Amino acid sequence: MELLKCGIIGAGILGKIHLKACLQYPYAKPVAVCDINQERANEAAEEFNLKAYTDYREMLHKTELDIIHVVTPDFAHRDPVITSLEAEKHVICEKPMATTMDDAKAIVKAVKKSGCRLMVNFSNRWNVPHHNTKKAILDGELGELKHAYARLSNTTYVPKQMLSWSDKSSPTMFLLPHMIDLVRWFFMSEAETVYASKTEGVLKSMGIDTHDTMTALVNFKNGAAACFETSWILPESLPYIVDHYVKLIGSKGITYLDMTQHVLRKYGDKAEYTRNPETIFGYSRGFPYDSIYHFLECIINDRNPISNEIDGLMNTAVLCAIIESADTGKDVRIQI
C-alpha cells in the first residue's frame, strides 16, 4: 500500500505533534514542512528528514502531497486551508477552524467546492474520559442532559512564553474551542443564545493586549444550559500549565471529569508530582496523536472524520458570540 504523503504548514509546537503522528502512523509519512520562519522550517526538516519551505503555495506546487495539516496560529488558518483545498488536498486544520464567521464560511464553501475532506482537530473528543462520557450519554446512562460546566485555563506561561502571538488571540479563542465543541458534542444540540463577561488588566499590564478571563452562559436549543470558563492568568507556581474540568448534569446522572489530575504522586524522601508521561518506550502517545490518526484512517478508508467543517463553523459562531457579548454587555443570539 502506498503511504499517504503529508505536508505540514506551521512547524511550531503543534506542528511537531502532527509531524510525529504522521511518522508514527504506519500508512503515512511526512514529506514536506512549511513555516514562514526559515529557521523553524529548517529545524523541523532536519529532524524529520523532509523538504523545507517558507511559502506553502510553493510547497503545494512543488511537492506531491495527499494531505495538508494546517497548524498555523489561531487567526491564520483561512488562507492555507483554502489554498490547500483548491489544490485538491484533504486538510486537517487545528482548532479553532476560524476566528471570524467570514473566515469560517469561506472555509465551508471551499470544502464544498473542492470535494475534499476537512477535519477540525477537536482533539479532546479523543481524550479517553471525554470519549467514555460520550458513550455513557449515547447509552442513556445520564438521561436527558440539562447542564454543563466546562473550564479550561492556563497559567501565564502560555500567553507569556509559549505563544509568540498571544496578543492576537485570547484564552477564549485558544482554549474555549475545545470546551464548546465538547459540550455541543455531548448535548447533540446547537447553541442558541450567549451571555458573556470578561475581565482584563493582568495580561495588559505585562504588555499582552488580550483579556484575562472569560465566563459565558450558553443556552442550547434542546433546553440545556452550559457555563464556560477560561483564564490565562493562573499562577506559574501550579504544578501544571492546564487546568481542565468538566461537569455534566443529566436527568439520571452526573459526571465529574477532573482532567487536570492525570498525575502520579510519589512520597519518599521528597514529595513528587508527575503528569502521565507523554512518551513511553520512545513512542509519543495520547489523544493529541489519536485524533490525527483518526483523520489519516478516514482518508485511507474514504470516510468522513467525526469533526468536520460544520463542527468548525458552529464552534466559531459560539466563540464570536461570546466575544461580542463580552464586548457589548448584551445577550447575543447565534446566527449563521
User: For binding to ligand NAD (CB under 6 A), which residues are involved?
Assistant: 9-15, 34-37, 40, 56, 71-74, 76, 80, 94-95, 121, 123, 163-164, 174, 288
Q: How far is the CB of 73 from ligand NAD (least distance, A)?
A: 5
Nearer to ligand NAD, 10 or 250 (CB): 10
3-state SS assignment for residue 281:
coil
Distance CA 18, CA 121 (A): 11
Q: What is the DSSP string of 153-186?
A: EEBTHIIIII-TTGGGS-HHHHHHHHHHHHHHHH
Q: Residue 87 has which C-alpha cell?
A: 489544490
- What region, left, alpha or beta, does residue 316 occupy, with left being phi > 0 and alpha being psi -120 to 50 degrees? alpha
3-state SS assignment for residue 86:
helix
Q: How far is the CB of 251 from ligand NAD (least distance, A)?
A: 31
Q: Residue 142 has which C-alpha cell?
A: 445520564
Q: Residue 80 has which C-alpha cell?
A: 492555507
Q: How far is the CB of 318 from ligand NAD (least distance, A)?
A: 16
Q: How far is the CB of 90 from ligand NAD (least distance, A)?
A: 18
Amino acid in the structure at residue 19:
L
3-state SS assignment for residue 66:
coil
Nearer to ligand NAD, 67 or 145 (CB): 67
Nearer to ligand NAD, 170 or 219 (CB): 170
Buried b (16+ CB within 10 A) or exposed e, 284-299: bebbbbbbbbbbbebb
Helices 309-328 and 101-114 sit at what angle, rounded to 10 degrees? 170
Nearer to ligand NAD, 127 or 219 (CB): 127
Residue 101, judged by CB atoms within 10 A of its CB (0-12, 13-18, 19+), counts as: middle
Distance CA 168, CA 179 (A): 20
Nearer to ligand NAD, 80 or 171 (CB): 80
Look up residue 2 and give its DSSP letter.
P
Among all residues, whose Cβ is closest to ligand NAD?
Answer: 12
Nearer to ligand NAD, 34 or 320 (CB): 34
Q: How far is the CB of 55 from ligand NAD (least distance, A)?
A: 8
Q: How far is the CB of 201 from ligand NAD (least distance, A)?
A: 24
Nearer to ligand NAD, 34 or 111 (CB): 34
Q: How far is the CB of 193 from ligand NAD (least distance, A)?
A: 26
